[in-house]
Structure 1
Protein backbone atom coordinates (compact mmCIF):
# COMPACT_ATOMS: atom_id res chain seq x y z
CA UNK A 1 0.00 0.00 0.00
CA UNK A 2 1.12 3.47 -0.79
CA UNK A 3 2.16 5.30 2.31
CA UNK A 4 -0.22 8.14 3.02
CA UNK A 5 1.30 11.47 3.86
CA UNK A 6 -0.05 13.60 6.65
CA UNK A 7 -1.02 16.99 5.28
CA UNK A 8 -1.12 19.85 7.77
CA UNK A 9 -1.07 23.65 7.80
CA UNK A 10 2.30 25.22 8.12
CA UNK A 11 3.06 26.27 11.68
CA UNK A 12 2.46 29.96 12.33
CA UNK A 13 5.61 31.66 13.41
CA UNK A 14 5.67 33.18 16.92
CA UNK A 15 5.21 36.93 16.89
CA UNK A 16 8.54 37.46 18.50
CA UNK A 17 10.29 35.32 15.93
CA UNK A 18 8.63 37.05 12.93
CA UNK A 19 9.16 40.47 14.37
CA UNK A 20 5.45 41.27 14.08
CA UNK A 21 3.11 42.71 16.66
CA UNK A 22 0.49 40.29 17.98
CA UNK A 23 -2.96 40.65 16.34
CA UNK A 24 -5.78 41.81 18.60
CA UNK A 25 -9.47 41.23 18.19
CA UNK A 26 -11.34 44.40 17.22
CA UNK A 27 -13.29 45.69 20.22
CA UNK A 28 -17.05 45.77 20.05
CA UNK A 29 -18.14 49.12 18.65
CA UNK A 30 -19.39 51.53 21.32
CA UNK A 31 -18.00 49.52 24.26
CA UNK A 32 -14.55 50.31 25.63
CA UNK A 33 -12.46 47.32 26.76
CA UNK A 34 -12.55 46.90 30.51
CA UNK A 35 -9.26 47.23 32.34
CA UNK A 36 -8.72 45.13 35.43
CA UNK A 37 -7.97 47.14 38.57
CA UNK A 38 -4.94 46.44 40.60
CA UNK A 39 -5.22 45.72 44.31
CA UNK A 40 -4.04 49.25 45.13
CA UNK A 41 -6.58 50.83 42.79
CA UNK A 42 -9.42 48.71 44.25
CA UNK A 43 -8.46 49.77 47.77
CA UNK A 44 -8.38 53.44 46.68
CA UNK A 45 -11.88 53.15 45.09
CA UNK A 46 -13.27 51.53 48.25
CA UNK A 47 -11.95 54.37 50.38
CA UNK A 48 -13.44 56.93 47.99
CA UNK A 49 -16.89 55.29 48.28
CA UNK A 50 -16.67 55.35 52.06
CA UNK A 51 -15.70 59.03 52.00
CA UNK A 52 -18.71 59.88 49.78
CA UNK A 53 -21.05 57.96 52.10
CA UNK A 54 -19.73 59.85 55.12
CA UNK A 55 -20.09 63.12 53.24
CA UNK A 56 -23.76 62.39 52.40
CA UNK A 57 -24.49 61.54 56.04
CA UNK A 58 -23.04 64.85 57.18
CA UNK A 59 -25.04 66.62 54.49
CA UNK A 60 -28.29 65.05 55.77
CA UNK A 61 -27.60 66.36 59.27
CA UNK A 62 -27.43 69.90 57.91
CA UNK A 63 -30.94 69.82 56.38
CA UNK A 64 -32.85 73.11 56.75
CA UNK A 65 -35.86 73.24 59.13
CA UNK A 66 -38.29 73.65 56.22
CA UNK A 67 -37.05 70.43 54.57
CA UNK A 68 -34.74 72.00 51.94
CA UNK A 69 -31.07 71.07 51.83
CA UNK A 70 -28.43 73.64 52.65
CA UNK A 71 -25.38 73.99 50.44
CA UNK A 72 -21.97 73.04 51.85
CA UNK A 73 -19.56 76.00 51.82
CA UNK A 74 -17.02 74.31 49.56
CA UNK A 75 -19.71 73.14 47.09
CA UNK A 76 -21.39 76.53 47.10
CA UNK A 77 -18.06 78.19 46.36
CA UNK A 78 -17.55 75.77 43.47
CA UNK A 79 -20.97 76.65 42.04
CA UNK A 80 -20.23 80.36 42.37
CA UNK A 81 -16.98 79.92 40.47
CA UNK A 82 -18.91 77.97 37.84
CA UNK A 83 -21.45 80.80 37.48
CA UNK A 84 -18.71 83.42 37.06
CA UNK A 85 -17.14 81.54 34.13
CA UNK A 86 -17.99 82.72 30.66
CA UNK A 87 -20.42 80.34 28.95
CA UNK A 88 -19.06 78.04 26.29
CA UNK A 89 -20.45 78.85 22.84
CA UNK A 90 -20.90 75.15 22.13
CA UNK A 91 -23.06 74.72 25.21
CA UNK A 92 -26.75 74.32 24.44
CA UNK A 93 -29.09 77.09 25.55
CA UNK A 94 -31.22 74.43 27.20
CA UNK A 95 -28.40 73.40 29.55
CA UNK A 96 -29.63 72.66 33.08
CA UNK A 97 -29.04 75.50 35.56
CA UNK A 98 -26.46 75.10 38.33
CA UNK A 99 -27.41 73.05 41.36
CA UNK A 100 -27.51 76.18 43.52
CA UNK A 101 -30.26 77.57 41.29
CA UNK A 102 -32.19 74.29 41.27
CA UNK A 103 -32.30 74.17 45.03
CA UNK A 104 -33.08 77.84 45.56
CA UNK A 105 -36.34 78.29 47.49
CA UNK A 106 -39.36 79.15 45.36
CA UNK A 107 -40.74 82.67 45.79
CA UNK A 108 -44.03 82.95 47.62
CA UNK A 109 -47.06 83.27 45.28
CA UNK A 110 -48.19 86.81 44.71
CA UNK A 111 -51.66 87.70 45.90
CA UNK A 112 -54.28 87.97 43.18
CA UNK A 113 -54.87 91.58 42.15
CA UNK A 114 -58.12 93.13 43.23
CA UNK A 115 -60.74 93.26 40.45
CA UNK A 116 -60.68 96.55 38.64
CA UNK A 117 -63.95 98.01 37.56
CA UNK A 118 -64.13 98.36 33.81
CA UNK A 119 -64.14 102.00 32.79
CA UNK A 120 -64.35 103.85 29.55
CA UNK A 121 -60.79 104.70 28.49
CA UNK A 122 -60.04 108.42 28.76
CA UNK A 123 -57.22 110.06 26.84
CA UNK A 124 -54.57 111.86 28.83
CA UNK A 125 -55.82 115.12 27.34
CA UNK A 126 -59.38 114.55 28.66
CA UNK A 127 -61.08 113.42 25.44
CA UNK A 128 -63.72 110.66 25.56
CA UNK A 129 -65.57 108.61 22.95
CA UNK A 130 -68.19 110.56 21.02
CA UNK A 131 -70.85 107.83 21.22
CA UNK A 132 -70.43 107.68 25.02
CA UNK A 133 -71.03 111.43 25.34
CA UNK A 134 -74.12 111.18 23.13
CA UNK A 135 -75.48 108.40 25.35
CA UNK A 136 -74.79 110.38 28.53
CA UNK A 137 -76.55 113.44 27.11
CA UNK A 138 -79.61 111.37 26.16
CA UNK A 139 -79.23 111.93 22.42
CA UNK A 140 -79.11 108.24 21.53
CA UNK A 141 -77.97 104.87 22.76
CA UNK A 142 -74.34 104.06 22.10
CA UNK A 143 -75.21 101.57 19.36
CA UNK A 144 -77.60 104.06 17.81
CA UNK A 145 -74.95 106.81 18.02
CA UNK A 146 -72.43 104.62 16.19
CA UNK A 147 -74.96 104.08 13.39
CA UNK A 148 -75.56 107.82 13.07
CA UNK A 149 -71.83 108.55 13.05
CA UNK A 150 -71.30 106.05 10.21
CA UNK A 151 -74.07 107.72 8.19
CA UNK A 152 -72.62 111.21 8.73
CA UNK A 153 -75.54 112.49 10.81
CA UNK A 154 -73.45 113.77 13.73
CA UNK A 155 -71.62 117.11 13.91
CA UNK A 156 -69.14 118.31 16.54
CA UNK A 157 -68.80 122.10 16.70
CA UNK A 158 -70.41 122.27 13.25
CA UNK A 159 -68.10 119.72 11.56
CA UNK A 160 -69.28 116.29 10.46
CA UNK A 161 -67.65 113.38 12.31
CA UNK A 162 -67.99 110.05 10.47
CA UNK A 163 -65.17 108.05 12.09
CA UNK A 164 -66.21 105.34 14.56
CA UNK A 165 -64.40 105.61 17.87
CA UNK A 166 -63.76 109.33 17.44
CA UNK A 167 -62.96 111.16 20.69
CA UNK A 168 -63.84 114.72 21.61
CA UNK A 169 -63.66 117.02 24.63
CA UNK A 170 -66.67 116.98 26.98
CA UNK A 171 -67.28 120.71 26.50
CA UNK A 172 -67.67 120.46 22.71
CA UNK A 173 -71.11 120.90 21.15
CA UNK A 174 -72.83 117.90 19.52
CA UNK A 175 -75.64 118.32 17.00
CA UNK A 176 -77.63 115.63 15.20
CA UNK A 177 -79.01 115.81 11.67
CA UNK A 178 -82.77 115.99 11.15
CA UNK A 179 -82.71 112.65 9.30
CA UNK A 180 -81.48 110.96 12.48
CA UNK A 181 -84.28 112.57 14.48
CA UNK A 182 -86.88 111.41 11.99
CA UNK A 183 -85.46 107.90 12.00
CA UNK A 184 -85.48 107.90 15.79
CA UNK A 185 -89.06 109.18 15.93
CA UNK A 186 -90.21 106.17 13.93
CA UNK A 187 -89.01 103.82 16.68
CA UNK A 188 -91.80 102.71 18.95
CA UNK A 189 -92.25 101.69 22.58
CA UNK A 190 -95.08 99.34 23.48
CA UNK A 191 -96.72 98.72 26.88
CA UNK A 192 -98.17 95.23 27.47
CA UNK A 193 -100.22 93.82 30.35
CA UNK A 194 -98.53 90.41 30.51
CA UNK A 195 -100.60 87.43 31.67
CA UNK A 196 -99.28 84.43 33.62
CA UNK A 197 -97.71 81.71 31.47
CA UNK A 198 -95.68 83.92 29.08
CA UNK A 199 -91.94 84.56 29.33
CA UNK A 200 -90.51 88.02 28.83
CA UNK A 201 -87.74 87.14 26.37
CA UNK A 202 -87.09 84.18 24.10
CA UNK A 203 -89.33 81.11 24.24
CA UNK A 204 -88.22 78.56 26.84
CA UNK A 205 -89.49 75.26 28.25
CA UNK A 206 -92.41 75.22 25.83
CA UNK A 207 -93.71 78.64 26.95
CA UNK A 208 -94.41 81.36 24.38
CA UNK A 209 -92.68 84.74 24.56
CA UNK A 210 -94.91 87.66 25.44
CA UNK A 211 -94.13 89.35 22.10
CA UNK A 212 -96.58 86.96 20.37
CA UNK A 213 -99.38 88.95 22.02
CA UNK A 214 -98.45 92.11 20.09
CA UNK A 215 -100.99 91.63 17.31
CA UNK A 216 -103.49 94.12 15.83
CA UNK A 217 -106.34 92.17 17.47
CA UNK A 218 -104.82 92.62 20.95
CA UNK A 219 -104.29 96.37 20.66
CA UNK A 220 -106.29 98.21 23.32
CA UNK A 221 -109.30 99.93 21.79
CA UNK A 222 -108.78 103.01 23.95
CA UNK A 223 -105.24 103.57 22.64
CA UNK A 224 -105.44 107.15 21.34
CA UNK A 225 -101.97 107.40 19.81
CA UNK A 226 -102.04 108.20 16.06
CA UNK A 227 -99.42 105.51 15.30
CA UNK A 228 -100.63 103.03 12.74
CA UNK A 229 -99.71 99.42 13.45
CA UNK A 230 -97.00 97.97 11.24
CA UNK A 231 -95.11 94.69 11.32
CA UNK A 232 -91.94 96.78 11.07
CA UNK A 233 -92.60 97.79 14.68
CA UNK A 234 -91.75 94.24 15.76
CA UNK A 235 -88.27 94.38 14.26
CA UNK A 236 -85.50 94.90 16.82
CA UNK A 237 -88.18 95.12 19.50
CA UNK A 238 -86.77 93.99 22.85
CA UNK A 239 -88.14 93.83 26.41
CA UNK A 240 -86.77 96.55 28.69
CA UNK A 241 -86.84 94.56 31.91
CA UNK A 242 -88.51 91.25 32.63
CA UNK A 243 -91.37 89.63 34.49
CA UNK A 244 -91.33 86.04 35.73
CA UNK A 245 -93.53 83.50 33.97
CA UNK A 246 -95.82 83.34 37.02
CA UNK A 247 -96.06 87.14 37.36
CA UNK A 248 -98.38 89.63 35.65
CA UNK A 249 -98.39 93.33 34.99
CA UNK A 250 -96.64 96.02 33.00
CA UNK A 251 -94.00 94.83 30.52
CA UNK A 252 -92.24 97.33 28.24
CA UNK A 253 -90.98 96.57 24.73
CA UNK A 254 -88.97 99.17 22.84
CA UNK A 255 -86.93 99.81 19.69
CA UNK A 256 -85.44 102.96 21.27
CA UNK A 257 -82.07 102.45 22.92
CA UNK A 258 -82.58 105.56 25.06
CA UNK A 259 -85.65 104.02 26.68
CA UNK A 260 -83.87 100.73 27.31
CA UNK A 261 -80.93 102.50 28.92
CA UNK A 262 -83.22 104.58 31.09
CA UNK A 263 -85.09 101.51 32.38
CA UNK A 264 -82.41 98.84 32.71
CA UNK A 265 -79.08 100.67 32.35
CA UNK A 266 -76.39 100.20 34.98
CA UNK A 267 -77.01 103.68 36.38
CA UNK A 268 -80.82 103.47 36.14
CA UNK A 269 -82.75 104.67 39.20
CA UNK A 270 -86.25 104.21 37.76
CA UNK A 271 -88.73 102.92 40.34
CA UNK A 272 -90.70 99.72 39.71
CA UNK A 273 -93.84 99.24 41.82
CA UNK A 274 -95.39 95.85 42.59
CA UNK A 275 -98.42 94.50 44.42
CA UNK A 276 -97.45 91.26 46.17
CA UNK A 277 -99.98 88.86 47.66
CA UNK A 278 -98.31 86.88 50.48
CA UNK A 279 -98.82 84.22 53.16
CA UNK A 280 -97.12 84.10 56.56
CA UNK A 281 -95.50 80.65 56.71
CA UNK A 282 -95.82 80.53 60.50
CA UNK A 283 -99.64 80.92 60.15
CA UNK A 284 -100.57 80.03 56.53
CA UNK A 285 -104.32 79.94 57.31
CA UNK A 286 -104.46 83.47 58.70
CA UNK A 287 -107.22 85.56 57.09
CA UNK A 288 -105.54 88.87 57.95
CA UNK A 289 -101.88 88.42 57.06
CA UNK A 290 -100.94 91.99 57.93
CA UNK A 291 -102.11 91.41 61.52
CA UNK A 292 -99.91 88.34 62.18
CA UNK A 293 -96.70 89.43 60.44
CA UNK A 294 -94.37 91.27 62.88
CA UNK A 295 -93.37 94.78 61.93
CA UNK A 296 -89.72 93.75 62.23
CA UNK A 297 -90.20 91.52 59.17
CA UNK A 298 -91.37 94.44 57.04
CA UNK A 299 -88.58 96.63 58.38
CA UNK A 300 -86.04 93.97 57.44
CA UNK A 301 -87.37 93.89 53.88
CA UNK A 302 -86.93 97.65 53.60
CA UNK A 303 -83.21 97.36 54.21
CA UNK A 304 -80.70 94.85 55.52
CA UNK A 305 -81.26 91.95 53.12
CA UNK A 306 -78.67 90.61 50.71
CA UNK A 307 -78.84 88.19 47.78
CA UNK A 308 -75.95 86.17 46.39
CA UNK A 309 -73.57 87.88 48.81
CA UNK A 310 -74.47 91.39 47.64
CA UNK A 311 -76.36 93.99 49.64
CA UNK A 312 -79.68 95.07 48.15
CA UNK A 313 -80.62 98.69 47.62
CA UNK A 314 -83.17 100.13 50.07
CA UNK A 315 -86.78 99.30 49.13
CA UNK A 316 -90.15 100.80 49.99
CA UNK A 317 -92.36 98.15 51.59
CA UNK A 318 -95.81 98.72 53.11
CA UNK A 319 -99.19 96.99 53.40
CA UNK A 320 -101.60 97.71 50.56
CA UNK A 321 -104.37 95.68 52.23
CA UNK A 322 -104.74 92.68 54.52
CA UNK A 323 -103.14 90.27 52.04
CA UNK A 324 -101.00 92.44 49.73
CA UNK A 325 -97.72 94.23 50.13
CA UNK A 326 -96.77 97.29 48.10
CA UNK A 327 -93.10 97.00 47.13
CA UNK A 328 -91.11 99.65 45.24
CA UNK A 329 -87.64 98.77 43.96
CA UNK A 330 -84.89 100.60 42.09
CA UNK A 331 -83.20 97.43 40.90
CA UNK A 332 -84.30 94.24 39.18
CA UNK A 333 -82.43 91.19 40.40
CA UNK A 334 -83.73 87.82 39.18
CA UNK A 335 -86.86 86.83 41.16
CA UNK A 336 -85.84 89.45 43.69
CA UNK A 337 -89.17 90.00 45.47
CA UNK A 338 -89.89 86.29 45.81
CA UNK A 339 -86.45 85.64 47.25
CA UNK A 340 -86.73 88.60 49.62
CA UNK A 341 -89.99 87.24 50.97
CA UNK A 342 -88.51 83.77 51.42
CA UNK A 343 -85.69 85.21 53.54
CA UNK A 344 -88.17 86.67 56.09
CA UNK A 345 -90.67 83.78 56.19
CA UNK A 346 -93.23 84.98 53.65
CA UNK A 347 -94.55 83.07 50.63
CA UNK A 348 -95.56 84.91 47.44
CA UNK A 349 -98.84 83.67 46.00
CA UNK A 350 -99.34 86.49 43.49
CA UNK A 351 -97.19 89.28 41.99
CA UNK A 352 -98.21 92.12 39.70
CA UNK A 353 -96.16 95.08 38.41
CA UNK A 354 -98.31 98.20 38.32
CA UNK A 355 -95.84 101.00 37.51
CA UNK A 356 -92.47 101.72 35.88
CA UNK A 357 -91.19 105.21 36.53
CA UNK A 358 -94.00 107.66 35.77
CA UNK A 359 -95.89 105.20 33.56
CA UNK A 360 -98.66 103.26 35.38
CA UNK A 361 -100.35 100.11 34.16
CA UNK A 362 -103.68 101.89 34.61
CA UNK A 363 -106.77 100.37 33.03
CA UNK A 364 -104.88 98.43 30.36
CA UNK A 365 -106.62 95.00 30.22
CA UNK A 366 -104.64 91.81 30.69
CA UNK A 367 -103.25 90.42 27.42
CA UNK A 368 -103.66 93.76 25.59
CA UNK A 369 -101.14 96.46 24.66
CA UNK A 370 -100.80 100.09 23.62
CA UNK A 371 -98.14 102.47 22.24
CA UNK A 372 -96.27 104.87 24.49
CA UNK A 373 -97.59 108.35 23.74
CA UNK A 374 -95.18 111.11 22.58
CA UNK A 375 -95.96 113.12 25.72
CA UNK A 376 -95.19 110.25 28.10
CA UNK A 377 -91.79 109.88 29.78
CA UNK A 378 -90.56 107.25 32.19
Structure 2
Protein backbone atom coordinates (compact mmCIF):
# COMPACT_ATOMS: atom_id res chain seq x y z
CA UNK A 1 0.00 0.00 0.00
CA UNK A 2 1.42 3.36 -1.04
CA UNK A 3 1.35 6.51 1.06
CA UNK A 4 -0.57 9.55 -0.27
CA UNK A 5 -0.29 13.23 0.60
CA UNK A 6 -2.48 13.93 3.62
CA UNK A 7 -4.00 17.02 1.99
CA UNK A 8 -5.12 14.87 -0.97
CA UNK A 9 -6.63 12.25 1.35
CA UNK A 10 -8.51 14.97 3.27
CA UNK A 11 -9.93 16.43 0.06
CA UNK A 12 -10.97 12.99 -1.20
CA UNK A 13 -12.78 12.34 2.09
CA UNK A 14 -14.64 15.66 1.77
CA UNK A 15 -13.08 17.08 4.93
CA UNK A 16 -11.93 20.29 3.19
CA UNK A 17 -10.16 21.45 0.04
CA UNK A 18 -6.47 20.65 -0.51
CA UNK A 19 -5.57 24.31 0.04
CA UNK A 20 -7.47 24.35 3.33
CA UNK A 21 -5.85 21.08 4.35
CA UNK A 22 -2.39 22.57 3.83
CA UNK A 23 -3.35 25.60 5.91
CA UNK A 24 -4.66 23.38 8.72
CA UNK A 25 -1.53 21.20 8.61
CA UNK A 26 0.72 24.28 8.86
CA UNK A 27 -1.15 25.33 12.00
CA UNK A 28 -0.88 21.89 13.57
CA UNK A 29 -4.64 21.33 13.41
CA UNK A 30 -4.52 17.91 11.76
CA UNK A 31 -3.95 14.54 13.43
CA UNK A 32 -3.20 11.19 11.78
CA UNK A 33 -4.01 8.25 14.05
CA UNK A 34 -3.96 10.72 16.93
CA UNK A 35 -0.55 12.23 16.13
CA UNK A 36 -0.31 15.92 15.19
CA UNK A 37 1.03 16.53 11.67
CA UNK A 38 2.49 19.97 10.95
CA UNK A 39 4.81 19.47 7.98
CA UNK A 40 3.49 20.35 4.52
CA UNK A 41 3.66 17.46 2.06
CA UNK A 42 3.36 14.83 4.78
CA UNK A 43 1.90 11.53 3.64
CA UNK A 44 -0.23 8.82 5.18
CA UNK A 45 -1.69 5.46 4.22
CA UNK A 46 -5.27 5.51 2.86
CA UNK A 47 -6.53 3.42 5.79
CA UNK A 48 -5.20 5.77 8.49
CA UNK A 49 -7.58 7.91 10.54
CA UNK A 50 -7.39 11.66 9.94
CA UNK A 51 -9.07 14.10 12.33
CA UNK A 52 -9.31 17.88 12.66
CA UNK A 53 -8.62 19.83 15.84
CA UNK A 54 -11.41 21.95 17.30
CA UNK A 55 -9.86 25.17 15.93
CA UNK A 56 -10.11 23.86 12.35
CA UNK A 57 -13.73 22.76 12.82
CA UNK A 58 -14.65 26.14 14.27
CA UNK A 59 -13.00 27.90 11.33
CA UNK A 60 -15.08 25.82 8.92
CA UNK A 61 -18.34 26.69 10.65
CA UNK A 62 -17.55 30.40 10.30
CA UNK A 63 -17.31 30.15 6.51
CA UNK A 64 -20.24 31.39 4.47
CA UNK A 65 -21.91 30.13 1.32
CA UNK A 66 -23.94 32.48 -0.85
CA UNK A 67 -26.73 31.83 -3.35
CA UNK A 68 -26.72 34.49 -6.08
CA UNK A 69 -29.22 35.04 -8.90
CA UNK A 70 -26.65 35.99 -11.53
CA UNK A 71 -27.82 38.32 -14.28
CA UNK A 72 -26.78 38.04 -17.92
CA UNK A 73 -23.60 40.03 -18.62
CA UNK A 74 -21.62 38.98 -15.53
CA UNK A 75 -18.84 36.39 -15.56
CA UNK A 76 -18.66 33.73 -12.87
CA UNK A 77 -14.95 33.98 -12.12
CA UNK A 78 -12.31 36.63 -12.77
CA UNK A 79 -13.47 39.85 -14.42
CA UNK A 80 -12.59 39.90 -18.12
CA UNK A 81 -12.94 42.03 -21.26
CA UNK A 82 -14.56 44.86 -19.37
CA UNK A 83 -17.22 42.61 -17.82
CA UNK A 84 -17.72 42.55 -14.06
CA UNK A 85 -17.56 39.33 -12.10
CA UNK A 86 -20.37 37.87 -10.03
CA UNK A 87 -18.63 38.53 -6.69
CA UNK A 88 -18.91 42.28 -7.37
CA UNK A 89 -22.68 41.94 -6.89
CA UNK A 90 -22.31 40.82 -3.26
CA UNK A 91 -22.92 43.69 -0.83
CA UNK A 92 -25.26 44.67 1.95
CA UNK A 93 -27.39 46.60 -0.55
CA UNK A 94 -28.05 43.59 -2.80
CA UNK A 95 -28.72 41.12 0.02
CA UNK A 96 -32.23 39.70 -0.39
CA UNK A 97 -34.34 41.08 2.43
CA UNK A 98 -36.43 37.92 2.57
CA UNK A 99 -33.41 35.66 2.92
CA UNK A 100 -31.20 37.00 5.70
CA UNK A 101 -31.45 33.78 7.69
CA UNK A 102 -30.16 35.62 10.77
CA UNK A 103 -26.79 36.41 9.14
CA UNK A 104 -25.78 40.00 8.54
CA UNK A 105 -23.46 40.84 5.67
CA UNK A 106 -19.87 41.58 6.62
CA UNK A 107 -17.05 42.59 4.23
CA UNK A 108 -15.01 39.69 5.61
CA UNK A 109 -17.47 37.31 3.93
CA UNK A 110 -15.97 38.35 0.58
CA UNK A 111 -12.52 37.09 1.57
CA UNK A 112 -11.78 33.87 -0.29
CA UNK A 113 -15.31 33.76 -1.70
CA UNK A 114 -15.22 31.85 -4.98
CA UNK A 115 -17.78 30.43 -7.41
CA UNK A 116 -18.42 26.70 -7.15
CA UNK A 117 -18.78 25.99 -10.85
CA UNK A 118 -19.50 28.16 -13.85
CA UNK A 119 -22.50 29.93 -15.31
CA UNK A 120 -21.51 31.58 -18.56
CA UNK A 121 -21.87 35.29 -19.31
CA UNK A 122 -24.97 34.79 -21.49
CA UNK A 123 -26.80 32.76 -18.83
CA UNK A 124 -28.74 33.71 -15.73
CA UNK A 125 -29.86 31.90 -12.59
CA UNK A 126 -28.30 30.26 -9.57
CA UNK A 127 -24.61 30.64 -8.87
CA UNK A 128 -23.20 29.34 -5.60
CA UNK A 129 -20.21 31.19 -4.14
CA UNK A 130 -18.50 29.80 -1.08
CA UNK A 131 -15.60 30.13 1.34
CA UNK A 132 -15.99 26.43 2.18
CA UNK A 133 -13.90 24.02 0.12
CA UNK A 134 -16.09 21.08 1.15
CA UNK A 135 -19.13 22.62 -0.53
CA UNK A 136 -17.12 23.56 -3.63
CA UNK A 137 -15.90 19.99 -3.95
CA UNK A 138 -19.44 18.61 -3.63
CA UNK A 139 -20.46 20.68 -6.64
CA UNK A 140 -17.42 20.62 -8.91
CA UNK A 141 -15.35 17.64 -7.73
CA UNK A 142 -14.49 15.04 -10.35
CA UNK A 143 -16.72 12.50 -8.62
CA UNK A 144 -19.62 14.94 -8.06
CA UNK A 145 -23.08 13.67 -8.97
CA UNK A 146 -24.94 16.76 -7.71
CA UNK A 147 -27.82 17.58 -10.06
CA UNK A 148 -28.00 20.97 -11.79
CA UNK A 149 -31.37 21.92 -13.29
CA UNK A 150 -31.83 24.43 -16.11
CA UNK A 151 -34.70 25.94 -18.07
CA UNK A 152 -33.56 26.47 -21.66
CA UNK A 153 -35.46 28.44 -24.31
CA UNK A 154 -34.58 27.18 -27.78
CA UNK A 155 -35.32 27.83 -31.44
CA UNK A 156 -35.27 25.23 -34.20
CA UNK A 157 -36.86 21.82 -34.70
CA UNK A 158 -36.10 18.98 -32.31
CA UNK A 159 -36.81 15.45 -33.52
CA UNK A 160 -37.60 12.51 -31.26
CA UNK A 161 -34.16 11.11 -32.04
CA UNK A 162 -32.62 14.48 -31.19
CA UNK A 163 -34.37 14.50 -27.82
CA UNK A 164 -33.17 10.96 -27.15
CA UNK A 165 -29.59 12.02 -28.00
CA UNK A 166 -29.81 14.93 -25.56
CA UNK A 167 -30.72 12.47 -22.84
CA UNK A 168 -27.86 10.12 -23.68
CA UNK A 169 -25.61 9.56 -26.64
CA UNK A 170 -23.68 12.81 -27.23
CA UNK A 171 -19.93 13.25 -27.02
CA UNK A 172 -18.05 16.48 -26.21
CA UNK A 173 -14.30 16.92 -26.60
CA UNK A 174 -13.88 13.22 -27.24
CA UNK A 175 -15.68 12.17 -24.05
CA UNK A 176 -19.15 10.69 -23.81
CA UNK A 177 -21.48 12.77 -21.66
CA UNK A 178 -23.14 11.29 -18.61
CA UNK A 179 -26.85 10.48 -18.97
CA UNK A 180 -29.02 13.61 -18.60
CA UNK A 181 -32.72 14.19 -18.10
CA UNK A 182 -34.09 16.42 -20.87
CA UNK A 183 -37.79 17.03 -21.52
CA UNK A 184 -40.09 19.71 -22.86
CA UNK A 185 -41.16 22.25 -20.22
CA UNK A 186 -43.43 24.05 -22.71
CA UNK A 187 -43.58 24.57 -26.48
CA UNK A 188 -40.31 26.55 -26.71
CA UNK A 189 -38.50 25.62 -23.49
CA UNK A 190 -36.59 22.51 -22.46
CA UNK A 191 -35.81 21.34 -18.94
CA UNK A 192 -32.29 19.94 -18.49
CA UNK A 193 -31.01 18.05 -15.45
CA UNK A 194 -27.25 17.41 -15.62
CA UNK A 195 -24.80 15.70 -13.29
CA UNK A 196 -21.69 17.29 -14.77
CA UNK A 197 -20.63 20.72 -15.98
CA UNK A 198 -18.58 20.94 -19.15
CA UNK A 199 -17.85 24.37 -20.61
CA UNK A 200 -20.97 25.73 -22.38
CA UNK A 201 -22.28 22.17 -22.28
CA UNK A 202 -25.98 22.80 -22.84
CA UNK A 203 -25.42 25.25 -25.70
CA UNK A 204 -23.08 22.80 -27.42
CA UNK A 205 -25.45 19.87 -26.85
CA UNK A 206 -28.30 21.83 -28.42
CA UNK A 207 -26.19 22.81 -31.43
CA UNK A 208 -25.44 19.13 -32.06
CA UNK A 209 -29.16 18.36 -32.49
CA UNK A 210 -29.98 21.44 -34.57
CA UNK A 211 -31.18 23.81 -31.85
CA UNK A 212 -30.10 27.30 -30.90
CA UNK A 213 -30.25 28.39 -27.27
CA UNK A 214 -32.16 31.67 -26.90
CA UNK A 215 -32.11 31.83 -23.10
CA UNK A 216 -30.67 29.71 -20.30
CA UNK A 217 -31.49 29.85 -16.59
CA UNK A 218 -30.20 27.59 -13.81
CA UNK A 219 -32.94 27.04 -11.25
CA UNK A 220 -31.52 24.36 -8.94
CA UNK A 221 -28.25 22.89 -7.68
CA UNK A 222 -28.77 19.71 -5.67
CA UNK A 223 -31.58 20.34 -3.19
CA UNK A 224 -31.11 24.14 -3.27
CA UNK A 225 -33.65 25.95 -5.46
CA UNK A 226 -33.47 29.49 -6.81
CA UNK A 227 -37.11 30.13 -5.87
CA UNK A 228 -38.21 33.77 -5.77
CA UNK A 229 -34.71 35.22 -5.34
CA UNK A 230 -34.68 38.35 -7.57
CA UNK A 231 -32.14 38.80 -10.36
CA UNK A 232 -28.98 40.50 -9.08
CA UNK A 233 -29.72 39.70 -5.43
CA UNK A 234 -28.31 37.05 -3.11
CA UNK A 235 -28.86 35.24 0.17
CA UNK A 236 -26.85 33.10 2.55
CA UNK A 237 -27.15 29.32 2.54
CA UNK A 238 -29.32 28.81 5.60
CA UNK A 239 -28.62 26.53 8.52
CA UNK A 240 -30.20 23.20 7.75
CA UNK A 241 -29.99 23.65 3.98
CA UNK A 242 -27.87 21.05 2.20
CA UNK A 243 -26.96 20.29 -1.39
CA UNK A 244 -28.08 16.69 -1.07
Instruction: Give the TM-score of the pair, scaled to structure 2.
Output: 0.95
1:241 to 97, 112, 117: 117
1:175 aligned partner: 51
2:175 to 300, 303, 310: 310
Residue 98 of structure 2 aligns to a residue whose secondary structure is: coil
* Ranges in structure 1 where 5+ consecutive residues have no aligned partner: 1-124, 282-292
Residue 345 of structure 1 aligns to a residue whose secondary structure is: coil
Offset of residue 331 of structure 1: 1.3
Which structure's CA Rg is the greater one?
Answer: 1
The answer to whether structure 1 residue 189 and structure 2 residue 65 are counterparts is: yes
1:225 aligned partner: 101
1:326 aligned partner: 191
Superposed, which structure 2 residues align to 1:1-378 within 5 Å? 125-280=1-156, 293-378=158-243
Offset of residue 339 of structure 1: 1.1
Residue 349 of structure 1 aligns to a residue whose secondary structure is: strand
Give the Cα separation in 2 of the matches to 1:222 and 1:298.
38
Offset of residue 180 of structure 1: 0.8
Mean CA deviation greater in 159-168 or 324-333: 159-168
1:184-222 CA deviation, whole Å, 9 max, x = no partner? 111111110011111111222221111111110110011
Give the Cα separation in 1 of the matches to 2:204 and 2:32.
48
1:273-310 CA deviation, whole Å, 9 max, x = no partner? 100011115xxxxxxxxxxx321110111111112232
| Alignment check: 8 A CA contact 2:14 2:137 kept | no
Give the Cα separation in 2 of the matches to 1:137 and 1:200.
27
Instruction: Give the TM-score of the pair, scaled to structure 1.
Output: 0.62
Give the Cα separation in 2 of the matches to 1:212 and 1:360.
22
Offset of residue 142 of structure 1: 1.3
Offset of residue 361 of structure 1: 0.7
Offset of residue 348 of structure 1: 1.0
Residue 263 of structure 1 aligns to a residue whose secondary structure is: helix
Residue 186 of structure 2 aligns to a residue whose secondary structure is: coil
Q: How many residues align?
A: 243
1:229-274 CA deviation, whole Å, 9 max, x = no partner? 1111111111111111111100011111111111111121111110
Give the Cα separation in 2 of the matches to 1:266 and 1:364.
29
Residue 143 of structure 1 aligns to a residue whose secondary structure is: helix
Residue 217 of structure 1 aligns to a residue whose secondary structure is: coil
* Ranges in structure 2 where 5+ consecutive residues have no aligned partner: none
Give the Cα separation in 2 of the matches to 1:162 and 1:204.
38
Greater share of strand: 2
1:27 aligned partner: none
